[in-house]
Structure 1
Amino acid sequence: MRALSETVIRYRVADIPMTTDKLVIEGVRGGRRKPICLFPCSGFNIPGEAARRASAIISEEIFPDISETLGIVELTRAFIDGNTPSFKKKLGKQKVITVDGCSYQCAREFITRFLRIEPEREIVIGLGGNREEEASKLTRTRKEDIDRAVLLIKECIEEIYPKSG
């Protein structure tokens, strides 16, 4: 587990690339392409936030050597910068797992409709049980929702990339 100060330093505004040149062409971390790309929902609703946060935990803490998280924000940035073909080429060389929070499946829709890439796997987190009805009343994502999402993603990666376990 990283210390809070490391997390804060890692996400300073000055460290965020303003273009996607390096992000798309070289990869997000270390300059090499990772075999698995998690493409999560942007996290607008509670289950979507769990999907997004769980994807980050997987790619930064559990499987940092084989997975990375790229999502709707990076796709939008690539589009704005005119790098959509490079972004598509990069994803085309990876096993993409979409991680959505609800049945709208926005992450899946973005990559299938705009990039014409079919994901290797699709995960829809949801809230489970009778909590779907209360979703509009919730004000924060619960730790158990994120933990459940992490387990689902981890199992999916271990299934399609057996060397990871």
Structure 2
Amino acid sequence: MVAILPRAGLLTVIIIGCAEVGLAQNQAVQLPSVGQSSAATSISVPDGGRTLIGGSSRGLTTMPSRSTFPLSRGPVTRNPLFGGPAYGRSLSGGSMTASVRIIDLQEMDRQILALSPAESSEAVEPDAPKPALTANDYLRKADEAEAKGKPKVAEIYRRLAAKHTTKETDR
């Protein structure tokens, strides 16, 4: 129902009982994508350390060659209402890391309970110190390496023997 009321030279229009017109809206819902990767490799990481094993990234860009709107041809092709150019882009990536934390529960118990290693039920005896190699030991190892066909290793042992020979003569 529409009522028109004249008021001091102004025209007033009252609209009564107007139904609300809903406009359709495009909504895009992006769902999470979950992937799984694996790597068969060996790495060395110190206690408490972290290292990057590897990573990858992927990208896709698209631009349709045609528009679905019938008036897209002609001088108005740049107007988005008439099917102008559209672009789509998808980027994804991931990486794999390794972290190491070594926890020695027996050592923690010993420290918490303030037990000395001698009082502990599992006292560990320290290894006896190994005798230092002499120049003759290095020369013998050089001969063994050369017999096995490893001339570079033999050269390293000969250099060590020469270094120990000079240390022994300096004493």
User: Shared fold by TM > 0.5?
Assistant: no
Q: Which has the higher contact order (CA 8 A, sep 6+)?
A: 1
TM range (shorter): under 0.3
Q: Highest CA radius of gyration, 1 or 2?
A: 2
TM-score (norm 2): 0.17
**Higher relative strand content:** 2
**Higher relative helix content:** 1
TM-score (norm 1): 0.18
